[in-house]
Amino acid sequence: MHLVTESGFKPRIVHELPRRIRIRNAGFHDPAFDPVYLEAVLQNIPGVLHVRFNLKTASVVVDYDGDACCREGVLRCIEAIPEEAYRPLSARESTPDPVGTGAKGVIAFLTPVIPKPLRALLGWGMSLPVLIEGVETLLTRGVKVEVLDAAAVGFSLGRKDYFTANSIVALLALGEYLEQLSEDKTTGLLKNLLRPQVETVWVERDGREITVGLGDVVIGDRVVCGAGEMIPVDGLVLEGEASVNQSSITGESVPVHLKPEDEVLSGSVIEEGRLKIEARQVGGETGMARISRFLENSLRFKSKSQKQSDELADRLVPTTLALGLGLYLVYRRPQRRAVERIPGPGRAGPGGHRGF
């Protein structure tokens, strides 16, 4: 059994059978690592049958057809993990827990009726993560939105206003949960739309039409597609005529009539007729695959407008803090003077009268 030397994030084969290999890589422990992405990359290697990750042990089990080329391809992929398999900072946030979010809301709602000692304990316990995040942000990135959140919570705790502090924490958690829920629904919808609808393909080889897996189609194959089937490759029509719906690719609402020497696009659907197509682009090189990668990257990274809105919010934080501090100082002094004017026990009021 050939072992790959483990150095840093180098992979190491820990167990191997004729059609199964278990590989360990310390890079799988990285919080930014996205196993779903690497699993999809491994599944696209011809001959790979099944992929299963175990992040606790930083290992992956790959079932394959036993071919040596497939084995080497798996090793190369895991040894040189693509950069796309590591999520950017904007995508590393953990999914908020709905139970935890609901619990924070309940605690905030019940804060006025909770006994004072327990009220203080719950207030500091709920607010501590927000305060820590604010301090870390201040030390690493400067005055950002997280610092403003921490300042609002900390000021409320300092005034022993635990209801306000808990309410702020609960609203922050609710906002994060709703945002993530919306993103997950959008991502799930697009993944369903982009999931390959074809697993097997009819191919003409040696004068016979046979069924092969989509990953086994190579450039130059004659792919046969009939009515109701999705075209899995980019290529050139060799035989037959058909009415093809290309709306999912080109946006054309009217089906296109294709005949020999016409080009076809992957992802198109044959509505009527039958075609024999010479494959020119297959697998990840097809137009549909490139569109899928573009949409996937748009989901994984923040858009320009998102970045601009986040930057604007961060730039407004110092102004907001300054205004808040100024208002506090302005209104705090009249309140103090008003308190000093209120007659207390033993204090002489207007006209020489003493307070009770």
What are the pLDDT digits (tens) for 12-60?
Answer: 888 889 899 999 888 887 777 888 888 888 888 888 899 999 887 788 9
- Which string of DSSP letters, residue by residue, matches 230-276? BP-SEEEEEE--EEEE-HHHH--SSPEEE-TT-EE-TT-EEEEE-EE
pLDDT at position 60: 92
Helix (H, G, I), strand (E, B) or coil at 338: helix
Phi-psi region of 341 (alpha: psi -120 to 50; beta: other; left: phi over 0): alpha
Domains defined along the chain, listed by start? 12-87 (3.30.70.100), 95-195 (no CATH), 200-291 (2.70.150.10), 302-356 (no CATH)
What are the pLDDT digits (tens) for 334-350?
Answer: 555 554 555 555 545 54
Per DSSP bridges, beta strands 275-281 and 256-258 are unpaired
Q: How far is CA 236 from CA 203, 243, 273, in A?
A: 14, 15, 16
Per DSSP bridges, beta strands 234-239 and 20-24 are unpaired
pLDDT at position 4: 37
Banded pLDDT at 270 (limits 50, 70, 90): very high
**Exposed e or buried b for every residue in 297-310, given b needs 16+ CB within 10 A?**
eeeeeeeeeeeeee
Mean pLDDT over 214-226 rounds to: 88
Asked if pLDDT for residue 131 goes beyond 90, the answer is yes
pLDDT at position 3: 37
Q: Is the whole model's pTM more than 0.75, yes or no? A: no
- Other beta carbons within 10 Å of 167: 19
- Token pair in block for residue 330: 């302005």
pLDDT at position 343: 57
Mean pLDDT over 98-108 rounds to: 89
Asked if pLDDT for residue 165 goes beyond 80, the answer is yes
Asked if pLDDT for residue 206 goes beyond 60, the answer is yes
β-bridge mates for residue 86, sequence order? 33
> Among the ranges 96-100, 151-155, 285-289, which has the highest mean pLDDT value?
151-155
What are the pLDDT digits (tens) for 51-77?
Answer: 999 887 788 999 999 888 899 989 988
Question: Which of 274, 278, 282 has the alpha carbon at shortest distance from 263?
Answer: 278
pLDDT at position 7: 37
